[in-house]
Amino acid sequence: MSAPLRCVWKKKPATPPSGSLDLLCHCASALAVVCLVATLVLPVLAPARPRDNWADRTLEGLSLRDKIAQLVQIRVTGKFVNRQSKDFKKIEEQIRDNHIGGLVLFAGNVYESAMALNDFQEMSALPLLVSADFERGAAFRISDTTSFPWAMALGATGDEDLAYREGLATAEESRAMGVHWIFAPVVDVNNNPDNPVINVRAFGEDPDAVARLGIAFMRGAQAGGVLTTAKHFPGHGDTATDSHIGLPVVPSDRSQLERCEFIPFRRLIDAGVEAVMTAHVAVPRLTRDDSLPATLSPEVLTDVLKNSLGFRGIVVTDALEMGGIANKYGSGAAAVAAIKAGADVLLLPVDAGEAIDAVEQAVLAGEIPVAQIDASVRKLLDAKKRLNLDRSRLTDLDRIGDTVSSPANLALAQEIADRAITVVKDESRLLPLDPTSTHSVYGLVLTPSPDPESGTAFLNAFRDRFPDAKTEWGNARMPADQLAAIDKEIKGADLVVVATLSRLASGQNTSVPDAHRQIVRKLASSSKPVVWVSIGSPYLLRLAPEMKTMLCTFSHSENSQVAAAKALAGEFHIDGRTPVSIPGIALIGEGLSVPANPVPVVVSATAP
């Protein structure tokens, strides 16, 4: 020490007297201990250093109207649009003038989507939060991306690792194109076979299985760097009306919802899902009103979702342009009611400007607290910060070619499709078929779509594996001469494979054409060996429960169609289990194990 130790509480001589050296040493030691403790403890007790307060500073700089605009997301397409066109100018106006906070990406192509999103980001004073309905990968909206089977196919595999890997791949392709927030996973419990809008979009009808797979997908997607969304709260599975067209009614009471529909939502909330999307469904036993959509109900969004289930993340409405809302409410009224109910984000209002104006007027009139608006905006700004959009909002186009539709992602999608194939019945023990057999085989694909490409993935894959088989394709408008020709071929064949394809499309009729019903029922009542492949909804099998051999794909994606052809030819061991019950045919969890053909099938070089 450079100077003698001095104890301030008692005067000491300059030179310690004899015998006081020990006391001096003790004081020095005590002081050293105090200094060490201070070094370790004071940083803990001291106030935390202020974090990066970009969200704080941004929020403070926004006017009331601009805060409200941050809660609005509008539709954009990923297709080329001329910069001087009316459509482009309309979007530009919403960004530059109305200062909306986000975009929802719809149908388009990979590079056009990324380039358009970059253009829009550069127009905006604040980074835009870009979302998309990538339920089964980006292919749900964007072509040339990895097309995963529909969620019910994952349900048939029951494999959480596959769900995680699909979520990860979806997120990586999303971020490569400039999408930050995916409206997935769907965690509705599809316990109504007549549901026209959820159906194969759900993992199944067992709430525990839906929760397991939903969490796995969510964690994979989060690892890939996107926000995830559990939808559609409080549950859209037990409905028989398409909410794109009208207002479905959920008949369940609170106890039933707790035992079934709420289970996946509660578990994903506990697992850290960032957002929950509302459903445009009436739940009269919660709201006491059979005409009030859950999206506009404080009882559903605040009392149940926030207070009971404890959700503190982003509450986003389903599209406010859908019939379940737009048929009864104007843009302004719907926006105000949704915010009052507890929503943070207004998705696709019919008129974004009108929605912003109406919410602003409601705040100024004292109907909506400013603090509520601030809290919602803060959630979104925090999300943008976590996504690093405050520093980097533009997409690197060079990254797309190395990320989107990679061989690994395509192989994963085909693996899921293969693993999902489920043999519901095989009373005649026809499976697998022998491609080398000399018996005459007739393959028939029936699709309700007039699109000449619909069902051709199965037809081509079937022809590759059964090159001697005669085949036919028919849509909903089958002329009499075609029906007669089909009847003749069926009579002359030793075995018939009939594949019925059902496409799930929002707001469209999912009924089976009469001609297809007649063909299937005639085949079911004949003594001829028939293999029926349901491509898409498994509930189609109710048309002819007496059919002796049935396969399900639970998806109409092209890789699911290919998987069906591969399964028929015995290219892999079939071991899927139906994730839903099919009334009169199969219970949930049922499915036959069918071994692969001992001799590998030789297919053409062009076959998948």
Identify the weakest region by mean pLDDT among 10-19, 161-170, 237-246. 10-19
State the pLDDT at residue 52: 57
Q: Residue 503 burial (CB < 10 Å; 0-12/13-18/19+)? A: middle
How far apart CA 288 and CA 401 sit, in angstroms, is 53
317 and 447 share one domain: no
Q: Is residue 605 part of a domain?
A: no
pLDDT level of residue 21 (50, 70, 90 thresholds):
very low
Q: Is residue 13 part of a domain?
A: no
488 and 393 share one domain: no
State the pLDDT at residue 213: 98
pLDDT level of residue 120 (50, 70, 90 thresholds):
very high
Residue 474: which of 529, 421, 419, 512 has the closest Cα? Answer: 512
The residue count of the chain comes to: 608
> Tokens 């906070």 identify what position?
101
504 and 385 share one domain: no
Q: Is residue 24 part of a domain?
A: no
Tokens of 546: 């007496």
pTM of the model: 0.89
Q: Give the number of other Cβ atoms within 10 Å of residue 401's Cβ.
A: 12
Q: Is residue 587 part of a domain?
A: no
Q: Give the number of other Cβ atoms within 10 Å of residue 82's Cβ.
A: 9
Q: Is 233 helix (H, G, I), strand (E, B) or coil?
A: strand
State the pLDDT at residue 544: 96
Q: pLDDT tens digits, residue range 344-357?
A: 999 999 999 999 99
Q: Is residue 522 part of a domain?
A: yes
Task: Find residue 75's DSSP bridge partners.
Answer: 104
State the pLDDT at residue 241: 87
Say whether the peptide bond before residue 234 is cis (omega within 30 degrees of 0).
Answer: yes
Q: pLDDT tens digits, residue range 38-92?
A: 443 433 333 443 455 999 999 999 999 999 999 999 999 999 989 999 999 999 9
Number of domains in the chain: 2
How far apart CA 175 and CA 224 sit, in angstroms, is 8
Note whether 212 and 266 are within 8 A (CB). Answer: no
The verdict on whether 318 is a catalytic residue reads yes
384 and 421 share one domain: no
282 and 234 share one domain: yes
470 and 342 share one domain: no
End of a domain among 366, 387, 407?
A: 407
**473, containing H or E segment:** strand 470-474
pLDDT at 28 over 60: no
Q: pLDDT tens digits, residue range 425-472?
A: 999 999 999 999 989 999 999 999 888 888 999 999 999 999 999 999
Q: pLDDT tens digits, residue range 390-439?
A: 999 999 999 999 999 999 999 999 999 999 999 999 999 999 999 999 89
372 and 433 share one domain: no
pLDDT at 33 over 80: no
End of a domain among 370, 390, 407?
A: 407
263 and 292 share one domain: yes
How far apart CA 102 and CA 232 sit, in angstroms, is 20
424 and 380 share one domain: no
Q: pLDDT tens digits, residue range 329-376?
A: 999 999 999 999 999 999 999 999 999 999 999 999 999 999 999 999
Q: What angle do CA 275, 281, 284 make, to 5 degrees?
A: 115
Task: Find residue 586's DSSP bridge partners.
Answer: 582
How far apart CA 314 and CA 352 sit, in angstroms, is 19
Among residues 232, 244, 280, 516, which one is catalytic? 244
Q: Is residue 38 part of a domain?
A: no
pLDDT level of residue 608 (50, 70, 90 thresholds):
low
Which ranges of 97-140 would DSSP assign to H, the alpha helix? 110-123
Q: What is the mean pLDDT of residues 560-571?
A: 98
Q: Domain holding 283: CATH number?
A: 3.20.20.300
Note whether 200 and 166 are within 8 A (CB). Answer: no
508-515, Cβ contacts within 8 angstroms, sequence gap of 24 or more: 510/196, 510/199, 510/537, 511/448, 512/448, 512/540, 512/543, 513/446, 513/448, 513/475, 513/476, 513/478, 515/474, 515/476, 515/478, 515/483
290 and 337 share one domain: yes
- Residue 344 structural domain: 63-407
What Cα–Cα distance (Å) separates residue 349 from each residue in 54, 69, 333?
28, 12, 10
State the pLDDT at residue 536: 95
The verdict on whether 573 is a catalytic residue reads no
377 and 230 share one domain: yes
Q: Which positions ≥6 away from 562 have C-beta within 8 Å? A: 414, 417, 457, 458, 461, 608
How far apart CA 425 and CA 50 sit, in angstroms, is 64
Which string of DSSP letters, residue by residue, matches 144-205? TS--PPPHHHHHHHT-HHHHHHHHHHHHHHHHHHT--EE---B------TT-SSSGGGSS-S
End of a domain among 407, 434, 458?
A: 407
Q: Is residue 582 part of a domain?
A: no
Q: pLDDT tens digits, residue range 206-248?
A: 999 999 999 999 999 999 999 999 999 999 999 988 888 899 9
Residue 331: which of 356, 350, 345, 353 has the closest Cα? Answer: 350
State the pLDDT at residue 58: 97
Tokens of 271: 């697992």
Tokens of 331: 């843009």
How far apart CA 75 and CA 105 sit, in angstroms, is 6
Note whether 556 and 150 are within 8 A (CB). Answer: yes
Phi, psi of 473 (to 5 degrees): -120, 135
How far apart CA 179 and CA 169 sit, in angstroms, is 13
Among residues 66, 238, 318, 418, which one is catalytic? 318
State the pLDDT at residue 244: 87
Q: Domain holding 545: CATH number?
A: 3.40.50.1700
290 and 181 share one domain: yes
pLDDT at 504 over 80: no
Q: Is residue 21 part of a domain?
A: no
* Amino acid at the residue 285: R
pLDDT level of residue 4 (50, 70, 90 thresholds):
very low
State the pLDDT at residue 26: 47
